[in-house]
Amino acid sequence: MMIAVPGVFGGAALAHIRALLDAADWIDGNATSGHQSALAKRNRQLPEGSPAAVEIGNLILDALGRTPLFIAAALPARVFPPLVNAYGVGDTFAMHVDNAVRIRRGDDFRVRSDLSATLFLSEPDEYEGGELVVEDTYGAHSVKLPAGDMILYPASSLHHVTPITRGERRASFFWIQSMVRDDAARTTLFDLDGAIQTVAADRGHADEAVIRLTGVYHNLLRRWAEV
């Protein structure tokens, strides 16, 4: 399941993050790559643990906690501290799949990467190329969202970033361990949650059918969740 999450950031918060990026020192993007990714990746990123990376990561985590669509789609148990990268002209990230487990440098914090996330921090007209292309059983999906919008997709997906031909693309990327590791089960819960909200908007949350459907949702979550 791929889900676009609009408006994670906007206005002053987005402007503040972009100012931090303008003033930041960048390093080679392979500082956090696995062996396979290092062969495919050419970009820059903020050093893990740098003041700018930590501040931006905390702002992202706070914003996600206030974003109902993210919570409903991801059912997050743990979120890897967000990282930030930049692609300039000629930079690219060839086809790859994300590591199954991500470990933070310097301690034992780790997540099982059920979902990958890319939060765009550059506007689409600021660069050419740089599309995130995610492959699934229905084909290849090209994603290039407005600054402040995010895409969620299964971390098991083959994906790549097309070469930049003009400008610079900046984004945050991170991984989520969901309470429900199975993508099909998580999709079922997301669809059911959406249907409940639609019926509740029409009939009210005290309606008997809404109450029963809500019970079905929580019983399925109880069956599938790992906490």
From the annotation, which residues make up the binding site for 2-oxoglutarate?
Answer: 169
Which residue in this structure is represented by tokens 């643990």?
49
- The residues that bridge with 165 in the sheet, in sequence order, are none
CB-CB neighbours of 223 under 10 Å = 9
With vertex at residue 58, the alpha carbon angle to CA 56 and CA 60, rounded to the nearest 5 degrees, is 70
Cβ–Cβ under 8 Å, residues 96 and 29: no
Beta-strand relationship, 166-167 and 3-5? unpaired
- The residues that bridge with 79 in the sheet, in sequence order, are 176
Question: Which residue positions form the known binding site for Fe cation?
Answer: 96, 98, 159
Q: Using CB atoms within 10 A of its CB, is residue 216 exposed (0-12), middle (13-18) or buried (19+)?
A: exposed
Q: At residue 92, what is the residue type?
A: T
**139 secondary structure, DSSP code:** E
Using DSSP's 3-state secondary structure scheme, residue 126 falls into helix
Question: Which residue positions form the known binding site?
Answer: 96, 98, 159, 169
Rounded CA separation 3/150 (Å) = 8
CA neighbor of 9 nearest in space, from 116, 80, 84? 84
